[in-house]
Copies of this chain bind each other. A is one copy, B any other.
Amino acid sequence: MNMQTSQTRSRAGLAAALRVSISRLSRRMRAEGGHSLSATQIGALGAVARHDALTPGELAAHEKVQPPSMTRTIARLEADGLLTRSPHPTDRRQVVLSLTAAGDKLLKEERRRKEAWLAQRLAELTPEEQSILRQAAPILERLSHG
């Protein structure tokens, strides 16, 4: 068997193993986040946090939902005091969204819980295993971006 075939087979096996672990870890972390908001709401709030001063249309495009769906999500988050709608400086059709202090705090708490859960699991690994994951982390980061 030639080298290319061997590499390809190995890579498919690696992909299969990583797919299962990544999916399961993601599911478990989601379960640890605390359930004050739905995944939809957390997603929208997180996008506003990352790109401040988004319009509803931009947010809908970013979250890959239609504008009317985002209208409802925004209405709920605004009613809960987690984000604010303010007039666009130059275009009176548009609206600008920003996080409130409460929204910011809630997002940070959500992240904190997930990371605390993961950190606890990491603490149960040997130093060698932790070292391997430290090497792997930037690679996974690149993999997730590209």
Q: Which A residues are within 8 Å of any B CB, using their own CB?
A: 10-12, 14-29, 111, 114-116, 118-119, 121-125, 129-130, 132-146
So how many copies of this chain end up in the complex? 2
Contact in complex: B132, A25 (CB < 8 Å): no
Across the interface, A26 reaches (CB within 8 A) one of B16, B17, B23, B114, namely: B23
Contact in complex: A146, B130 (CB < 8 Å): no
Contact in complex: A143, B18 (CB < 8 Å): no
Docked Cα-Cα span, A33 to B22, in Å, equals: 14
> Which 10 pairs, one residue from A and one from B, show the smallest C-beta to C-beta distance?
A26-B26, A136-B136, A15-B119, A24-B144, A21-B140, A15-B118, A25-B144, A15-B115, A17-B137, A21-B144
Closest Cβ of chain B to A66, distance in Å, is: 15
Minimum CB distance partner of A46 in chain B: B23
Contact in complex: B12, A140 (CB < 8 Å): no
Contact in complex: A125, B143 (CB < 8 Å): yes
Contact in complex: A133, B141 (CB < 8 Å): no
